[in-house]
């Protein structure tokens, strides 16, 4: 084992809030030969990546999402990031109109679920009357500039209770990326304002995307459980565009079970372009809601679609099949450039500006890959096999992670792998499976599927926030290798290596100091003389799980960390009335 001494790293970010609690936070990793890197972080900087953390287990600032919303500043011109740990949050959530520029970031889009079970025909105990469709939502999004990343929004009400909304959105400039909308009838009520949806999943029965908003859907998956129509738009007459679906995929529970849309209002505007439409959609594709007058006013169109459900010759005559010139105005920035006012006001809103400025995950935090032992870090969001994790890696498999922040750049990566065959090649790309390659490594046989080893490679050509794609390639049709987890190395200035306790080499937060010892795999926690009585120490991993909790014996405590898995850890010192926190990275 290498006995090179750890290094002290400088802290890079500070948080506006002073609450001192645990959160997953990006580490800054050094050379693979180092056992430990000590990164000292002050109590006020612990949440440098997020403004507020929600966790059901109490490891964040709040245990409910609504409490976090209530704590966010009102009428804010700057973005407030709320990180929500995995869990099912059973609560009605309201983002009021004065809570502007809120960002919800889930730990994973299948593990972080915002849900409730009100429904149109369910009795509201406060009024004694049915909730009705509009009041049945699990989440009400009314604050302008709202952004949701890596979340599931759900309504679990019984279908027998009628319409049951998962999300009702009236916010202008709302963004949903890598989110899931789960329900049955009327799942997503895009009521008004403008909204952008990227890489999202929508499911339901009848009219499960409905309302009068100006909404663009990019690279989304739409799943019909069977029902009259997928969409029910109620676009106002003066609004040029309603719902536009681009590069999406439509599937369903059967064949000929639904239509693309029907007009809730006479001027409904819905366009599907470059979308793969399965046989779940009937050949006619559209209906007029039993009112022939709608045929003269509804604005339904399609362009360059594909799939068994795309039968242009069978579409109603009042539905337009666009040519390339006619389809040009339905581009993202043109659709969203003007608000829904009457008359519409053009402000050239570009949702990608917000997305490209908001990270969901630090590239320098350990990231999970396959579901094997010793799992660490952030989970994958989607993969080539359609689920949360690739079951077995074959040639051509890939995993995608949304909005990964590479900061000022990455210089390398480490990955935990195993193989019982000839292996294959692990490749990292950004913004697509054919996007820019930033690193790769040839994985060879380790002598067994559970015989793990850590490999290291170089990375370059990436800064800022990108969707990260992890790809596997190799010869043959069998399994190639296992990939447990990986992390990137950050290019950053470092202080000189230290090996003994001296005032110059010990980094401290208040009266709590953490530093490596001369012994390999060991740290010292120095609490100071006035913390000796009734003080307790606990070390947590970056998912908030307690690893050890020794009693503090005197002002200093030696802790053996050689057996810890690689990753970020938090040291918490508590004496009954005050918390201090430090952070270190186990390499």
> Is 57 an active-site residue?
no
Instruction: Quickly list DSSP for 428-450.
Output: EEESSTTSEEEEEEEE---SEEE
Cβ-based neighbour number of residue 74 at 10 Å? 11
CA distance 354 to 42: 28
Q: What backbone phi and psi angles, to 5 degrees, belong to 300?
A: -105, 135
Candidate list 51, 57, 117, 186, residue with the active-site label = 186
Interatomic CA distance for residues 243 and 369, integer angstroms? 35
Ramachandran area for residue 431 (φ above 0: left; ψ -120 to 50: alpha; else beta) = left
> What end-to-end distance do the CA atoms of the chain give, in Å?
12
CA neighbor of 1 nearest in space, from 529, 475, 454, 528: 454
Token output for 467 = 């969707």
Q: How far apart are CA 167 and CA 114, in angstroms?
A: 10
Report strand pairing: 367-368 vs 482-490. Answer: antiparallel
Tell me whether residue 186 is one of the annotated catalytic residues.
yes
Please give the torsion angle defined by the CA atoms of residues 147, 151, 152 and 155, in that order, rounded to the nearest 10 degrees: -50
Task: Scan for tokens 């989970």, then name that residue.
Answer: 379
Q: Backbone phi, then psi, for 266, in 5-degree steps?
A: -65, -25
What are the E-state strand segments in 265-316? 269-273, 276-277, 299-303
Of the listed 207, 397, 405, 541, which one is catalytic? Answer: 207
Cβ(285)–Cβ(229) below 8 Å: no
- DSSP result, 241-277: --EEEES-EEEESSSS-BEEEEESSTT-EEEEES-EE
Nearest to 362 by CA among 147, 585, 547: 585
Backbone angles phi, psi at 313, to 5 degrees: -70, -20
Euclidean distance between CA atoms 496 and 422, whole angstroms: 41
DSSP assignments along 18-66, one per residue = --------------TT-SEEEE---GGGTTTT-SEEE-TTS-SSBSSHH
Which positions are annotated as active-site residues?
186, 207
């Amino acid at each position: 084992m290498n006995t090179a001494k750890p290094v002290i790293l400088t802290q890079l970010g500070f948080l506006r809030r002073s609450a001192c609690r645990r959160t997953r936070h990006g580490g800054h990793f050094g050379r693979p030969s180092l056992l430990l890197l000590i990164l000292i972080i002050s109590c006020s900087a612990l949440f440098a990546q997020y403004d507020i953390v929600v966790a059901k287990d109490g490891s964040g600032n709040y245990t409910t999402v609504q409490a976090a919303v209530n704590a966010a500043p009102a009428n804010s011109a700057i973005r407030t990031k709320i990180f929500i740990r995995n869990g099912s949050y059973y609560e009605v959530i309201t983002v009021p109109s004065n809570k502007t520029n809120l960002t919800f970031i889930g730990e994973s889009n299948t593990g972080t679920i915002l849900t409730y079970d009100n429904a149109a025909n369910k009795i509201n105990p406060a009024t004694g009357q049915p909730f009705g469709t509009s009041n049945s939502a699990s989440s009400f999004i009314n604050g302008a500039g709202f952004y949701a990343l890596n979340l599931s929004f759900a309504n679990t009400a019984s279908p027998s209770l009628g319409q049951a909304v998962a999300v009702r959105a009236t916010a202008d400039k709302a963004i949903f990326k890598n989110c899931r909308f789960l329900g049955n009838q009327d799942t997503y009520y895009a009521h008004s304002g403008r909204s952008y949806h990227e890489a999202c999943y929508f499911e339901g029965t009848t009219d499960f995307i409905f309302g009068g908003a100006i909404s663009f859907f990019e690279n989304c998956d739409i799943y019909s459980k069977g029902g009259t129509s997928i969409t029910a738009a109620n676009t106002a007459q003066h609004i040029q565009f309603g719902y536009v679906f681009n590069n999406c995929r439509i599937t369903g529970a059967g064949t000929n079970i639904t239509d693309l849309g029907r007009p809730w209002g006479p001027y409904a505007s819905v366009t599907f372009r470059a979308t793969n439409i399965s046989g779940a959609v009937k050949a006619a594709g559209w209906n007029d809601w039993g009112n022939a007058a709608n045929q003269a006013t509804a604005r339904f169109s399609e362009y360059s679609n594909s799939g068994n459900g795309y039968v242009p010759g069978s579409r109603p005559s009042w539905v337009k099949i666009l040519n390339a010139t006619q389809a040009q105005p339905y581009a993202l920035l043109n659709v969203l450039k003007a608000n829904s006012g009457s008359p519409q006001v053009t402000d050239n809103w570009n949702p990608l500006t917000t997305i490209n400025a908001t990270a969901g995950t630090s590239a320098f935090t350990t990231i999970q890959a396959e579901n094997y032992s010793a799992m660490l870090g952030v989970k994958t969001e989607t993969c080539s096999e359609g689920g949360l994790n690739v079951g077995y890696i074959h040639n051509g498999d890939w995993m995608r992670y949304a909005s990964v922040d590479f900061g000022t750049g990455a210089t390398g990566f480490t990955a935990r792998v195993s193989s019982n065959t000839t292996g294959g090649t692990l490749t990292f790309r950004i913004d697509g499976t054919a996007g820019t390659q930033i690193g790769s490594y040839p994985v060879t046989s380790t002598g067994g599927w559970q015989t793990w080893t850590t490999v290291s490679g170089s990375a370059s050509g990436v800064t800022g926030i990108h969707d990260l794609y992890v790809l596997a390639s190799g010869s043959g049709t069998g399994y190639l290798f296992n990939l447990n987890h990986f992390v990137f190395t950050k290019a950053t200035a470092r202080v000189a290596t230290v090996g003994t306790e001296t005032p110059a080499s010990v980094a401290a937060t208040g009266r709590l100091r953490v530093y490596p010892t001369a012994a390999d795999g060991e740290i010292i926690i120095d609490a100071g003389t006035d913390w000796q009585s009734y003080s307790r120490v606990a070390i947590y991993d970056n998912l908030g799980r307690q690893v050890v909790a020794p009693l503090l014996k005197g002002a200093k405590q030696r802790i053996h960390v050689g057996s810890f898995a690689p990753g970020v850890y938090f040291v918490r010192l508590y004496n009954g009335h005050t918390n201090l926190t430090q952070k270190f990275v186990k390499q």
